[in-house]
Structure 1
């Protein structure tokens, strides 16, 4: 695991209401597109995790120290500066793919995208597919 999984937990909040309330029009548009993409890729329905993460499925992690928990297997958050796409197995696992993605930046397990129209959605879909498979097959 690239870093500590997000400690947010699933909620019963309405995903559609959350998406409708996203202020930035590009983030709102991209969020709706990501719901479609991630639902198709994972076969999971979207669920709010905490106040601002849309998650698809979950996986259980356990460290050698004994620390364990559950985290989203795939997900995103439409933030003000960019949409954050979470690749649970870490962005380094997808460096080959991400080289052809288009404009983006990365963190340990976060992919920051300002506009889905500016990237190769096929590359993003494959990265999400690989990441989801990696964490749910454990």
Structure 2
């Protein structure tokens, strides 16, 4: 996730961003995800760039020397699909995704059409797992 995120945390309003989501159904899903992520992480939602809602943050440094900050987890209600951002490289993610419901996954993102397609308890487990994985990987940043 970090490598593709040229985005910085900012003070834009998360609610104003969700209100601008065109599809009423997707807007409803975004509010539901906002609640789920907030409740599960205990972090306040923040905008990262113009379209990602992130929770918590960590500072990463790659072997190449490239470094930056990224949210621990997040989501973005995009036009085509809803992108869910989890930790990259977590070996246990695949196992949980088997019971997640209808989705496709990229390197760092998991894409869903709507919240109704997925098991929200599995989503909570994925969120917790990502946060724990990153806290273990980057112990200095909580």
Q: Verify same fold: TM over 0.5.
A: yes
Q: Does the CA contact (< 8 Å) of 2:2 and 2:69 recur in 1?
A: no
CA shift in 2, pair 1:47/1:114, >3 Å: same
Q: Deviations over 1:78-125 (max 9, x none)?
A: 001111000123475410010111110000010101011121111111
Unaligned stretches of 5+ residues in structure 2? none
Runs of 4+ in 1 over 6 A off after TM superposition: none
Q: For residue 34 of structure 2, what is the aligned residue in structure 1?
A: 35
Q: For residue 100 of structure 1, what is the aligned residue in structure 2?
A: 99
Q: For residue 8 of structure 1, what is the aligned residue in structure 2?
A: 7
Give, in angstroms, the shift of residue 9 of structure 1. Answer: 0.3
Q: For residue 68 of structure 1, what is the aligned residue in structure 2?
A: 67
| Count of residue pairs the alignment pairs up | 137
Please give the TM-score of this superposition, normalised by the length of structure 2. Answer: 0.90
Q: For residue 46 of structure 1, what is the aligned residue in structure 2?
A: 45
Q: Deviations over 1:36-66 (max 9, x none)?
A: 1111111100011111100101111111122
Q: Does the CA contact (< 8 Å) of 2:74 and 2:85 recur in 1?
A: yes
Q: Does the CA contact (< 8 Å) of 1:19 and 1:28 recur in 2?
A: yes
SS at match of 1:131: helix
SS at match of 2:132: helix
Unaligned stretches of 5+ residues in structure 1? none
Q: Does the CA contact (< 8 Å) of 2:46 and 2:54 recur in 1?
A: yes
Give, in angstroms, the shift of residue 3 of structure 1. Answer: 6.7
Q: For residue 58 of structure 1, what is the aligned residue in structure 2?
A: 57
Q: Distance in 1 between matches of 2:2 and 2:49?
A: 19
Give, in angstroms, the shift of residue 26 of structure 1. Answer: 2.1
**RMSD (Å), alpha carbons:** 1.6
Q: Distance in 2 between matches of 1:65 and 1:21?
A: 38
